[in-house]
Amino acid sequence: MTDREILGPWLRRFFVEYIVTERNLAQNTRSSYRDTFSLFLPYVSQNLHKPVERLAVTDLTSSLVLKFLGYLETDRHCSVRTRNQRLAAIRAFARYVGSRDPVLVEWCGHIRAIASKKAMPPAIGWLSRTEMDAMLAVPDRRTSQGRREYALLLFLYNTGARVSEAVQLRVRDLNLARARGGHDLATLLGKGGKVRQCPLWPETEQILTAEIHGRAADAAVFVSRLGEQFTRFGVYRLIERCALQVPQLAKRAITPHVIRHTTACHLVQAGVDINTIRAWLGHVSISTTNIYAEIDMTMKANAIALCEVGTPMGRRSWKGDKDLMAFLKSL
C-alpha cells in the first residue's frame, strides 16, 4: 500500500494544511472535525479488524459511513443534528481528497452522495421579563462570589453574547467611557473571527467597572471563585444552578443560549429594528434573526387584532345611489 493510499497522511494534511492554512476555519469547527474522526476511525478499525495506522482511504466506504451514522444515533443516542454535523466533517474530508487525487474522485463521489437526514428545528426557549428578573435575583450580591455571578448573568442578558464570547472577554475589550461623555461598549469576538460591539446598560457598566478594578488589560473579565477564567462548563453550571432556585424554571432546561434567545425576544418586544438585532447578536443572515419575530405571541396577538374581521356592512345596490347615477349621466 502506497503513501497515497494510506489514510493517515491525508488526514494530517487535511487538518494542518487545509482547514487551518487554506480555509482558516474557526476553532470550534476544527474541534468538531477532530472529534468526528476521533470517533469514526476507532469505529472503522473495529469493524475491519485493522489497526488505525494501517487504514486506507478507500476503507472508508459509503456503507461503513452509513453504519457509523446509525451507530451515533442508536448506540450513542446522538440527535439528528449531531449526526449531520459528523457527516459534514467526513464529506469535507472526502472533497479535499478528491480535489487532490484524481484516482480517488470516484470514492469521493460515493461519500459525498450520502444525504443529510432531515431534522426538525428545535423549539426556541426563552424567558419572560419576570423570569429573567428572578434569575438575576438569585446570586447573593452581598458576597464577592455573588457579585461575580450577577455580573456574568447581567452581561449575558445585556449583550446576548454566546457563552464562548463571554468567557473569552478581556478587560481591554470593555470601553467604559460614559463618564467621559462616550458610550459604554463591549467588543465581542464571535463566530469565524467576526468582531462586533454591543452597548452596555448603565447598571452593567457600574457592575463591570467594580468587577475589573485593578486588573490588567489582558486579564479575563469573568473569573471563578478561584480567580481563574470562567470555563464554558462553569457558565452552564452557574445558569443551571440559578434556574433551579426559581420555582417556575425548575423543570425547564435553561442554558446560556436560552438567555441569548431571551435578549433577542425582549429586543423584538421593545420594537427594535430586526436588522439592528441581527448586528447585536452577530448573525450573518437576517433570516436567522427572523425566528425571534415569529415566536413572540404578543406581537402575533397584536397583528391578529389589527386584521380582525368586524361585522360586515350591509350591501347596497348601486342603483340605489341616485347621486352616482346622476353623476354618470352628466358625463
Which is nearest to 191 in space by CA: 36, 25, 20? 25
Positions marked active-site? 162, 191, 257, 260, 283, 292
Q: At what angle do helices 256-269 and 297-306 cross, to 10 degrees?
A: 30
C-beta separation of 222 from 230 below 8 A: yes
How would DSSP label each residue in 183-217?
Answer: --EEEEE-GGG-EEEEE--HHHHHHHHHHTTT--T
For 79, other C-beta atoms within 10 Å of its C-beta total 12
Residue entry with cell 470516484: 106
* Residues 109, 112, 117, 121, Cα dihedral to 10°: -150
- Cell numbers of 77, please? 443516542
Angle at 74 between CA 70 and CA 78, to 5 degrees: 90
The C-alpha atoms of residue 224 and residue 172 are separated, in whole angstroms, by: 19
- Cell numbers of 289, please? 434573526
The three-state secondary structure class of 220 is strand
